[in-house]
Amino acid sequence: MRAAQGAELSRTVSFPVSESDIRRWAIAVYFPEPPPPMFWDATAAERTIHKGIVAPEEFNPFAWMSADGPAVPDDGGYDPDSTEKGLGLRPPGLRNMLNGGVEVEYGVRMRPGDVITSVRRLGAYSERTGRLGTMLMTVFEDTWTNQRDERVKLSTMTLIRY
């Protein structure tokens, strides 16, 4: 399993980000207060450090659909062994799992016209012993880049299986 560290698990490409997408996201995030003008007013946004409209850092261009089409609905459950099965590895066979946390590092801001590519990789495995036995920590890294190959965001999620 350790040999699979760094393997690409998925690649997704967004539709071009529009001013309308950014504006609607900002309205929803800041509700009931009005969003800052840098997210919807081109004139005000020109006077900021960004020199134009930018998206809030937590903006998700994949929230509704990607350019690859709608997400395939799952069967209502989650298979704790799906990562290893997808990589053609013998799964660890652990039955339970929980979210061990998410860390996010932001890079350049998303702007109207940007096309974002998400590449999700298997980051690392480690083991710990807990009161219920051996726990397998699996780290996933999701890197978002724009069409200029500038990093927009790096999310690191830890999944704990036992």
**27-83: pLDDT as tens digits:** 999 999 999 999 999 999 999 999 999 999 999 999 988 998 876 655 545 778 888
Does domain 2-16+76-161 sit in CATH 3.10.129.10? yes
Average pLDDT score over residue span 2-9: 90
Listed in order, the ranges of the chain carrying CATH 3.10.129.10 are: 2-16+76-161
Q: Do 68 and 13 touch, CB atoms closer than 8 A? A: yes
Spatial distance between the Cα atoms of 108 and 112, rounded to a whole number of angstroms: 13
Q: What is the pTM assigned to this prediction?
A: 0.88
**115-161: pLDDT as tens digits:** 999 999 999 999 999 888 889 999 999 999 999 999 999 999 999 99
Q: What is the pLDDT of residue 94?
A: 87
* Burial track 6-40 (b if 16+ CB lie within 10 A, e otherwise): eeebeebebeebebebbbebbeeeeeeeebeebbb
What is the distance, to the nearest Å, from the Cα of residue 41 to the centroid of all Cα atoms in its chain? 27
